[in-house]
């Protein structure tokens, strides 16, 4: 962290970590020292030496209260950063954020928008005089590569369609938050599942073979049963490496759509939610019936759609030139204007546009009055007064936030325990299967022994019947002799069970026995 001392004043970053977040990489090039503010409550106010308050945190009651208090004090300029594209569900259907907190209005003096399209929308929400088209400084290196490629292609006619590739490498991505409600998460999963089946179906029906790389957030990869290539999201180097090695990209609505378009590959947006799009892509998959046609196009993208994708990219993201100089121009300019207003003991006021570029300002067509200043927006001030949360609400929010953090920690422990128990269950299941195998073998052995016992019983019954027959023959012989002669055991042994006496003179008969 840069040394935050000195008579020239300090730039303070609210809720951000410039030392680890690429969103704030440009602050090291400021003309003033900076300091990160990570611990604050709803009543926090910046110290007297603060010359600029910068934040991208514009979503929770605590930050909104802080920003409102700073604006009301009217001493420190406030710069709000857009950290990505506008997305309908995040703006209107996210139960986890404060209503109307997505720049309706912007609780700050200026907002650094990523592109002209975003500035037009946010300006329409009552933010006249606040929107400056800056771009994303973290993408400057890739923007320069894009400009070099576009410059080489300028003046050329549309190239002929390239031949289809035998193997198409596709990067499939989801936004940092794939859904804000259980219903939204289910819809996103259903879209990914249809896409997974689509890859297989198109290939089986004579289309190109697809090699998807899955970069999925949340638990989507586990639910789909695919290997997840997402390791980290903060720095962005991992994503850039993956984008450099693919032929096409399919993503849910996310700033990554623009990053992929900067690499010159065809990009499709996967969105089953049926909501309006602030970003109009060249390819959309909004139903499972769209999958096959879009995949065929991504394997052999038509040139006219690629041109449309480039046009959309430059409207959504200002990347003709690096964004860092514009961000520094805006920040340093706000600091200078703020100092002049304080020295003159006047209210803070800033020009409609502080970035000196007619193209970025909408061409000077008169559609927006350049005489307006941010502090004169009466609608915004009334909105702030009406939406100001009382202290009890703040305490409740902080308690809920603390409980949420505890639940997240508990969830992490439960996940580890679940994995441990899962391994134990797997081992027990293996033992159960082994025991089941042994039981089946024993059952087979029991059946064999049962059959043997049955055969022995049948043989024993046969021998018993033969013995009884011989005893009857013996009794008949004794009754027939009539002279009281007793029959010996030798005579009994010569009795034929069939009823014919054996011939004692026949050596074979003499050897017969039971």
Tell whether 150 is covered by a domain.
Answer: no
User: Distance (Å, rounded) from C-alpha 406 to C-alpha 24?
Assistant: 28
CA–CA–CA angle 133, 135, 138 (5° rounding): 155
Asked which of 339, 368, 389 is the last residue of a domain, the reply is: 389
Is the pLDDT reported for residue 505 higher than 80?
A: no
> Going by C-beta distance under 8 Å and a sequence separation of 6 or more, which residues neighbour residue 462?
none
Same domain, yes or no: 66 and 189: no
How many angstroms separate the CA atoms of 382 and 390, rounded? 16
The reply to whether 290 falls in a domain is: yes
- Looking at residue 159, the DSSP 8-state letter turns out to be P
pLDDT of amino acid 396: 62
Q: Are 195 and 214 in contact (CB under 8 A)?
A: no
- Beta carbons of 159 and 304 less than 8 angstroms apart: no
pLDDT at 510: 40
Q: What is the three-class DSSP state of 273?
A: coil
Closest CA to 348 of 94, 60, 51, 113: 51
| Whether residues 99 and 236 fall in one domain | no
Residue 112: inside a domain: yes
Confidence bin at 96 (pLDDT 50/70/90): confident
Neighbours of 349 (CB within 10 A): 16
pLDDT at 190: 96
Q: How far apart are CA 206 and CA 204, in angstroms?
A: 6
Host domain of residue 432: 398-510
- 3-state DSSP assignment of residue 326: helix
* pLDDT, position 164: 58
Provide the pLDDT confidence category of residue 231 given band limits of 50, 70 and 90: confident
Say whether both 120 and 208 belong to one domain: no
- Of 76-80, 317-321, 464-468, 480-484, the poorest mean pLDDT is in 480-484
CATH number at residue 303: 3.40.50.2000
Closest CA to 348 of 176, 109, 133: 109
> Quick one: tokens of 474?
């013996």
**What's the confidence (pLDDT) of residue 357?**
53
Is residue 96 located within the same domain as residue 217?
no
Asked whether residue 445 falls in the same domain as residue 480, the answer is yes
Q: Indicate if 50 and 128 belong to the same structural domain.
A: yes
Same domain, 347 and 492: no
Q: Is 63 inside a domain boundary?
A: yes
Average pLDDT over every residue of 225-248:
83
Number of independent structural domains in the chain = 3
Distance, in Å, from the CA atom of 233 to the CA atom of 480, rounded to the nearest integer, reads 112
> The sheet that has 267-270: what strands, in order across it?
209-215, 167-173, 248-251, 267-270, 283-285
| 3-state DSSP assignment of residue 206 | coil
289, 221: one domain? yes
165 and 295 share a domain?
A: yes
Structural domain includes residue 1: no
Please state the φ and ψ torsions of residue 29, each to the nearest 5 degrees.
Answer: -95, 5
Regarding whether 352 and 456 lie in a shared domain, the answer is no
**Which residue, of 287, 316, 345, is where some domain finishes?**
316
Last residue within a domain, chosen from 252, 284, 316? 316
Percentage of the chain surpassing pLDDT 90?
52
Q: At 512, phi and psi to the nearest 5?
A: -70, 150
What pLDDT band is residue 140 in, cutting at 50, 70 and 90? confident
Q: Do 51 and 132 share a structural domain?
A: yes
Spatial contact of 85 and 254, defined as CB atoms under 8 Å apart: yes
Q: How many CB atoms neighbour CB 54 within 10 A?
A: 27
Tokens of 289: 């019936």
Residue 152 lies in a domain: no
Distance, in Å, from the CA atom of 164 to the CA atom of 306, rounded to the nearest integer, reads 15
Q: Which of 77-86, 169-178, 240-249, 493-502 has the lowest mean pLDDT?
A: 493-502
153 confidence band (pLDDT: 50, 70, 90): low
Tell me which DSSP letter residue 158 carries: P
Here the tokens at position 92 are 């209107």
Residue-averaged pLDDT of the chain: 82
The verdict on residue 301 lying in a domain is yes
Instruction: Let me know if residue 147 belongs to a domain.
Output: no
* Residue found by looking up tokens 């329409």 in the block: 124
The answer to whether residues 161 and 309 belong to one domain is: yes
- Adjacency order of strands within the sheet including 110-113: 34-37, 10-14, 50-55, 78-81, 110-113, 131-133
| Cα atoms in the Cβ-side hemisphere of radius 13 Å centred on 279 | 32
């Amino acid at each position: 962290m840069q040394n935050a001392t000195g008579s020239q004043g300090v730039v303070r970053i609210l809720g951000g970590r410039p030392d680890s977040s690429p969103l704030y990489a440009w602050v090291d090039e400021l003309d003033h020292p900076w300091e990160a503010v990570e611990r604050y409550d709803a009543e926090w106010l910046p110290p007297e030496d603060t010359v600029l308050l910068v934040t991208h945190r514009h979503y929770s009651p605590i930050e909104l209260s802080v920003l409102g208090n700073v604006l009301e004090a009217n001493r420190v300029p406030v710069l709000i950063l857009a950290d990505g594209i506008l997305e309908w569900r995040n703006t209107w259907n996210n139960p986890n954020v404060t209503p109307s907190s997505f720049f309706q209005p912007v609780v700050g003096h200026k907002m650094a928008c990523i592109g002209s399209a975003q500035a037009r929308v946010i300006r329409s929400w009552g933010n006249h005089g606040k929107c400056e088209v800056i771009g994303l400084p973290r993408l400057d290196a890739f923007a320069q590569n894009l400009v070099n490629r576009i410059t080489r292609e300028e003046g050329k006619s549309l190239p002929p369609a390239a031949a289809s590739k035998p193997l198409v490498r596709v990067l499939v991505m989801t936004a940092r938050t794939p859904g804000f409600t259980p219903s939204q998460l289910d819809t996103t999963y259903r879209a990914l599942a249809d896409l997974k089946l689509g890859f297989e179906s198109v290939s089986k029906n004579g289309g190109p073979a697809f090699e998807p790389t899955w970069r999925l957030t949340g638990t989507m990869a586990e639910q789909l049963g695919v290997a997840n290539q997402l390791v980290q999201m903060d720095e962005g180097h991992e994503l850039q490496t993956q984008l450099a090695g693919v032929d096409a990209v399919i993503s849910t609505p996310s700033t990554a759509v623009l990053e992929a378009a900067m690499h010159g590959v065809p990009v499709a947006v996967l969105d089953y939610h049926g909501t309006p799009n602030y970003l109009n892509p060249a390819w959309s998959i909004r139903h499972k019936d769209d999958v096959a046609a879009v995949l065929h196009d991504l394997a052999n993208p038509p040139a006219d759609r690629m041109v449309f994708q480039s046009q959309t990219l430059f409207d959504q993201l200002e990347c003709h030139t690096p964004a860092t100089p514009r961000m520094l121009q805006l920040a340093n300019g706000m600091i200078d204007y703020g100092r002049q207003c304080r020295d003159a003991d006047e209210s803070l006021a800033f020009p409609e546009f502080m970035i000196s570029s007619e193209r970025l300002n909408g061409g000077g067509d008169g559609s927006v009055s350049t005489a307006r200043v941010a502090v004169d927006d009466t609608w915004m001030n009334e909105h702030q007064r009406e939406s100001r949360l009382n202290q009890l609400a703040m305490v409740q929010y902080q308690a809920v936030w603390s409980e949420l953090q505890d639940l997240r920690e508990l969830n992490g422990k439960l996940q580890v325990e679940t994995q441990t128990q899962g391994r134990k269950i797997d081992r027990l299941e293996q033992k159960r299967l082994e025991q089941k195998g042994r039981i089946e073998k024993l059952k087979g052995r029991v059946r064999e022994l049962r059959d043997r016992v049955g055969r022995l019983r049948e043989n024993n019954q046969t021998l018993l019947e033969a013995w009884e027959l011989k005893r009857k023959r013996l009794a008949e012989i004794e009754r027939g002799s009539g002279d009281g002669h007793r029959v010996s055991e030798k005579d009994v042994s010569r009795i034929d069970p069939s009823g014919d006496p054996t011939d004692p003179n026949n050596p074979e008969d003499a050897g017969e026995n039971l």
